[in-house]
Amino acid sequence: MASFIPSARWARTLGVLLRSMNAPAQTTPPPESGYRLGIALIATLVALLVAVVEVGVESGPIRPGTGSVLLGLYVLVWGVMFLASYFYSHKTL
């Protein structure tokens, strides 16, 4: 029966893992004014919504056309807005 003899390689690997777990936390940037970013995103959403309403999208199955493209862009801008709120959370209104 073989016995378990720890090698220097295992100790080195464990040391690297422990050092990486104790890495200093990243500092968060100070709160900043994000009025321009917020206004730009909201204005883009409003403009796309007005364009969708003006083109006229009917309820029911989605049909190819300008209205469908604008509606898709509107939904994508909502996604960008949520991503911006995650990555630019230090820019509070």
Q: Which pLDDT belongs to residue 46? A: 92
| Span between the terminal Cα atoms of the chain, in Å | 68
Question: In the numeric block, which tokens belong to residue 89?
Answer: 């959370």
Q: Is the pLDDT of residue 51 over 70?
A: yes
As a whole number, mean pLDDT of residues 5-24 equals 56
Please report whether residue 73 resides in a domain: yes
Range of the domain at 82: 30-92
Has residue 23 got a pLDDT over 60? no
* Residue 19 belongs to some domain of the structure: no
How many domains, in total, are found in the chain? Answer: 1
Residue 42 resides in a domain: yes
68 within 8 A of 8, measured Cβ to Cβ: no
- Answer whether residue 9 is part of any domain: no
The answer to whether residue 6 sits within a structural domain is no
- Please report how many Cα atoms fall inside a 13 Å half-sphere around the Cα of residue 29, on the Cβ side: 9
CA 54 vs CA 47, 50, 67: distances in Å: 10, 6, 9
Query: Is 67's pLDDT higher than 60?
Result: yes
The residue to which tokens 């209104």 are assigned: 93
Q: Which residues contact 79 (CB under 8 A, 6 or more apart)?
A: none
What pLDDT does 85 receive?
78
- Asked whether the predicted pLDDT for residue 16 surpasses 60, the reply is no
Residue recorded with tokens 């939904």: 75
Task: Decide if pLDDT at 78 tops 70.
Answer: yes
Task: Look up the pTM and report it.
Answer: 0.56
